[in-house]
């Protein structure tokens, strides 16, 4: 059993969240919290659902409307998905860079620009002579 397992009946979830069961039914109808269902169509809430219900209660007590709460929860879910996707892409990029033959490295040019170079090559150094003389001498 993990935090996603739908194990709590509506009365227990309502008690854990400090709400009335009818409130949970309303939140299910408007899509704020969507519990799992049994074969007989009974609602079953997970620990994550109960945590979400507590967050909804906190936001509601802070004066946020139900539509505002829905939008906040939607954006938090989107941020979680994007963090996961960024991690996947970073991992794939690291694997690609390590496994690609002839991978490229980067160096800084004389003017501060970025230069792409093949692995194992060196940038050419300038052998120009610059003479500095203070003004007025």
> Residues 55, 70: one domain?
no
The CATH number for 28's domain is 1.10.1660.10
Residue 34: what are its φ and ψ, rounded to 5°? -115, 95
Q: Domain total for the chain?
A: 2
- For residue 106, the cross-strand partners are 116
Which residue reads 């991992």 in tokens? 91
Per-residue model confidence as pLDDT tens digits over 93-137: 888 777 766 656 677 777 777 777 766 666 666 666 667 777 776
| Domain membership of residue 98 as a residue range | 65-119
Classify 113 as helix, strand or coil.
coil
pTM: 0.63
Per-residue model confidence as pLDDT tens digits over 28-78: 999 999 999 999 989 999 999 999 999 999 999 999 999 999 999 999 999
Q: How far is CA 42 from CA 6, 9, 38, 134, in A?
A: 11, 8, 5, 87
d(CA 13, CA 5): 13
């Amino acid at each position: 059993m993990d935090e996603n397992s739908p194990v709590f009946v509506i009365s227990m979830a309502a008690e854990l969240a400090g709400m009335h069961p009818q409130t949970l039914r309303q939140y299910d109808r408007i899509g704020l919290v969507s519990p799992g269902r049994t074969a007989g169509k009974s609602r079953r809430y997970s620990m994550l659902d109960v945590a979400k219900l507590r967050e909804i209660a906190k936001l509601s007590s802070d004066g946020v409307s139900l539509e505002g709460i829905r939008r906040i929860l939607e954006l938090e879910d989107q941020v979680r998905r994007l963090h996961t996707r960024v991690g996947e892409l970073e991992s794939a990029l690291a694997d690609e860079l390590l496994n690609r033959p002839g991978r490229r490295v980067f160096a800084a040019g004389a003017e501060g620009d970025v230069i792409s170079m093949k692995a194992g090559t060196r940038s050419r150094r300038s052998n120009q002579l610059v003479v500095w003389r203070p003004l007025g001498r």
